[in-house]
Structure 1
């Protein structure tokens, strides 16, 4: 196992970067009742990666692929923000339409690319085991900016600017871990801990459970040579389920007077 540490350590740090923004954003998504917005925005961000690859933007300058992906995601987030008040009761359906359109657009763009299937697989499942410290430095700056914004302007999560901030966080995460793991990181543990009283205890419980799932999933993936993204999704689901069944995430009972 010792020889796996150089691979597992940067991958685990990548997971912590994703979780740092996705846990609080996940609670906000659940509160708004727009559960599948992360899948939609993540898929649009993945479409941006596909477009950048197809038109060779990544060769223009360092970070070009990320910028193209971010523009796609922010544009989708802005569109959903504009539609929120107009189609409030149908917003979840609109989000689903965005997801399907982005997913099929990727298939169309890569229809004649012999390596298109591998690229689509990578955007969905990610390649977290192969992240480098240089990559993490860039994403760490993005995550720090998102967290700082949420800390200094907590009301940003309540208004329409939530969509833009969400899109930026999702773009960074998709490039690191893929679409599937973005959804799992954002929803599974926050869903399991939602019944707890909002506050630092709930937040740290969610962070702890998610970090444990990442540690176990990465170790299992590397040791048994399993797809990292799929393994981590299942670990997050199992940890969340165990926490619920074990009563760890139940709200504290009020003491009798």
Structure 2
């Protein structure tokens, strides 16, 4: 592995570590609440905000519009889901699924006449993690540290409506770094791998699953010239499946499926 390739892989791996650092904890909460598709929906809404900023010439030239416009959309979407969560308890997951589909269709319609629309949509969905620079990681690193510090100091913040606010902020930055598909995979797969594990250090092992998936995916992507986002999703799924099978003997009793120690 030459130094040029290493110079590409290290920022990409650092981006993956930042995404994993918050998404494993939030993924646990997503499984606990039973709102599996909220991450996909909010990520898609954030992507829609990026598309609106791209298509509007007046907005496109404003400072940091590629960050605050997706954040505004994500916060609005998270606020709507938080409002619905108190009124449509039995139908919330179905409504979130509809929310995702509508945001995806809106993105396709907005980009239908844009000559670069297909490329932008592909970038937002699959991400471009291999082209992440160290400068791009400064703000996500700061937000990740603050979010983790808040969760460590006040764990119950994840049980209330503030969860949706934190979720929207984290998802917005993650979509910018790794794309919608990897955001969903990083939230769900490591948490799902440990969902029935009743041994010690479950959370640490979930981080290990995520890190192994990113590391293996990046190496395969660089070695075999594969799309990085798709490769990491595949290796994350593989690592989660292997751990799930290997830890089969440490399942909890019925009713503990949505608990991670």
**Smaller-chain TM-score bracket:** over 0.9
Which runs of 5 or more structure 2 residues have no equivalent in the other structure?
254-261
Q: TM-score, normalised by structure 1?
A: 0.94
Counterpart in 2 of 1:246? 246
1:85–1:8 CA distance, 2 compared to 1 (3 A): same
- Is 1:160 aligned with 2:161? yes
Counterpart in 2 of 1:87? 88
Counterpart in 1 of 2:257? none
Answer yes or no: is the 8 Å Cα contact 1:244–1:250 preserved in 2: no
Answer yes or no: is the 8 Å Cα contact 1:192–1:249 preserved in 2: no
Give the Cα separation in 2 of the matches to 1:107 and 1:43.
Answer: 11
Flag as ranges the 4+ runs of structure 1 deviating above 3 A. Answer: none
Using the TM superposition, give the Cα deviation of residue 249 of structure 1 relative to its aligned residue in structure 2, in angstroms: 8.0
Counterpart in 2 of 1:127? 128
Counterpart in 1 of 2:180? 179
Using the TM superposition, give the Cα deviation of residue 145 of structure 1 relative to its aligned residue in structure 2, in angstroms: 2.0
Using the TM superposition, give the Cα deviation of residue 186 of structure 1 relative to its aligned residue in structure 2, in angstroms: 0.4
Give the Cα separation in 1 of the matches to 2:46 and 2:147.
Answer: 17
Which runs of 5 or more structure 1 residues have no equivalent in the other structure?
none
Answer yes or no: is the 8 Å Cα contact 2:199–2:250 preserved in 1: no
- Is 1:60 aligned with 2:62? yes
Counterpart in 1 of 2:227? 227
Aligned runs of 1:24-43 on 2, under 5 Å? 24-43=25-44
Give the Cα separation in 2 of the matches to 1:23 and 1:224.
Answer: 28
> How many residues are treated as equivalent by the alignment?
251
Counterpart in 2 of 1:51? 52
Name the Cα RMSD after superposition. 1.6
Q: TM-score, normalised by structure 2?
A: 0.92
Cα deviations across residues 47-92 of structure 1 (Å, max 9, x unaligned)? Answer: 011111111434211x221100001001000011011111010000
Counterpart in 2 of 1:214? 214
Using the TM superposition, give the Cα deviation of residue 252 of structure 1 relative to its aligned residue in structure 2, in angstroms: 8.0
Give the Cα separation in 1 of the matches to 2:61 and 2:151.
Answer: 33
